[in-house]
Amino acid sequence: MKQVRIKDIAEKAGVSIGTVDRVLHNRGEVAAETRKRVLAIARELHYQPNILAQALTAKKQYHLAALLPQSSSDNVFWTLHPQGIEKAIKSLRPFYVDVRFFFFELHNEADFAEKAKQILEYQPEGVIFAPILKKESLQFCTELDIRKIPYIFIDTYIENTNCLSFVGEDAYQGGRVAASLIDFGLPAQKDILIVNLAKDLENTQHLNHRNQGFMSYFLDKGKNTGMKITIEIPLSSPQVVTEKMNAILHANPNIGAIMVSSAKTHAIARYIESQRIKNLIIVGYELTKKNKDYLKKGIIHFLIGQKPMKQAEKAVKRMFEYLTTGQISSKKEFQAVEILNVENVDLY
């Protein structure tokens, strides 16, 4: 369909382009009858203003904030999201989009709340954040709603909020994928260990959803009849992991597979390697360098990836779309997960 221009409306109404511009943008004096005629023709022609062109001409700047977990040597997964955001900013040029980063310590509720407070003081036009800590994220959403600041979720989705959109993995379905991989290769009578490397599993939304999906698979159709044993390890340091894993494996000698619900899968693989444990199927998440190394060694058997750079890039573009057009193309965009093993890992 041909884009209707102000010039087209002016020609049909028999007035100047300047008159149509004043009517459509509600500025300057225009006779009532002329205004009525111009608006009627604009509706008849289905005129849509070129908001992107207006934004470029006006040189309007869009100031966004991103609230993300701080990456660390043990959790490099979160280094990828800022890269995706920077890629989006470059692709949106020559529009003026600026993103200020606010990083919080993973699983540190007080630090999350402090960074959220700093964002509210900054007063951005939009916020992109990972609502990993459910209680604190809900409070932050309430504050953003009060100030009428739009926000988009990445990585994790929380129900019953006013978020514009979500871009990321369906964590529940991701848990089912992990379960199906283990179920395919594990003898039916063997037990399965679910490892959660988190300080407060109850408040960590995406890990909960993965665990729920994992268990639902076996309730629905899994052939495995062994016990499903869950352990929560608050720290990924070798000493803490060794202590916890020694105890659980000693008490449950029938364990034949381990599902690690987070990107810190390498911490469990490191333990398995150091103890020279054989014949354990290990499935985890995210293609970080450490995880990839253990995958290539054959200690980790499968990794499930969720394209973090692409998540963050899409979220910025979606926020820009909303700020410039007032519209959002999709409330939720669940990205297809990638299943990686030693045979295909070098392709990523």
Residue 289: give its domain's CATH number. 3.40.50.2300
At 70-105, the pLDDT tens digits run 988 777 889 999 999 999 999 888 888 999 999 999
Residue range 42-50: mean pLDDT, rounded: 75
Q: Do residues 95 and 34 touch, judged by C-beta distance below 8 A? A: no
Report the alpha-carbon distance of residue 153 to residue 303 in Å, rounded.
Answer: 23
Q: Do residues 141 and 308 touch, judged by C-beta distance below 8 A? A: no
Residue range 53-62: mean pLDDT, rounded: 64
3-state secondary structure of 66: strand
Q: Do residues 316 and 129 touch, judged by C-beta distance below 8 A? A: no
Task: Tell me, yes or no, whether 158 and 183 share the same domain.
Answer: no
In a domain, 259, yes or no: yes
Residue 95 CB neighbours (<10 A):
16
CATH number at residue 38: 1.10.260.40
Task: Tell me, yes or no, whether 282 and 318 share the same domain.
Answer: no
Residues of the chain with pLDDT > 90, as a percent, come to 67
In a domain, 13, yes or no: yes
Res. 234: pLDDT tops 80: yes
pLDDT of residue 326: 81
At 293-319, the pLDDT tens digits run 999 999 999 999 988 999 999 999 999
Q: Do residues 143 and 120 touch, judged by C-beta distance below 8 A? A: yes
In a domain, 227, yes or no: yes
Domain that holds residue 36: 6-49
Residue range 269-274: mean pLDDT, rounded: 98
Task: Tell me, yes or no, whether 197 and 300 share the same domain.
Answer: yes
Report the alpha-carbon angle 148-151-153, nearest 5.
155
In a domain, 34, yes or no: yes
pLDDT of residue 331: 84
Pairing of strands 332-334, 165-168: parallel
Please, what is the average pLDDT of the chain? 91
pLDDT of residue 128: 98
In a domain, 120, yes or no: yes
Task: Tell me, yes or no, whether 161 and 45 share the same domain.
Answer: no
Task: Tell me, yes or no, whether 149 and 113 share the same domain.
Answer: yes
pLDDT of residue 284: 97
Task: Tell me, yes or no, whether 237 and 315 share the same domain.
Answer: no
Task: Tell me, yes or no, whether 277 and 183 share the same domain.
Answer: yes
Amino acid present at 309: M
Task: Tell me, yes or no, whether 209 and 258 share the same domain.
Answer: yes
What burial class does residue 93 get, using C-beta atoms within 10 Å of its C-beta: 0-12 exposed, 13-18 middle, 19+ buried?
Answer: exposed
In a domain, 347, yes or no: no
Query: In total, how many domains does the chain have?
Result: 3
Task: Tell me, yes or no, whether 74 and 183 share the same domain.
Answer: no
Pairing of strands 302-305, 338-340: antiparallel
In a domain, 344, yes or no: no
Task: Tell me, yes or no, whether 199 and 87 share the same domain.
Answer: no
At 316-345, the pLDDT tens digits run 999 998 888 787 777 888 888 899 999 998
Q: Report residue 50's pLDDT band, with 50, 70 and 90 as the boundaries.
A: low
In a domain, 341, yes or no: no
Task: Tell me, yes or no, whether 214 and 137 share the same domain.
Answer: no
Residue range 237-241: mean pLDDT, rounded: 96
Res. 56: pLDDT tops 60: no
Report the alpha-carbon distance of residue 337 to residue 180 in Å, rounded.
Answer: 14
Task: Tell me, yes or no, whether 70 and 180 share the same domain.
Answer: no
Report the alpha-carbon distance of residue 311 to residue 306 in Å, rounded.
Answer: 8
Q: Do residues 337 and 306 touch, judged by C-beta distance below 8 A? A: yes
At 138-185, the pLDDT tens digits run 999 999 999 999 999 999 999 899 999 999 989 999 999 999 999 999
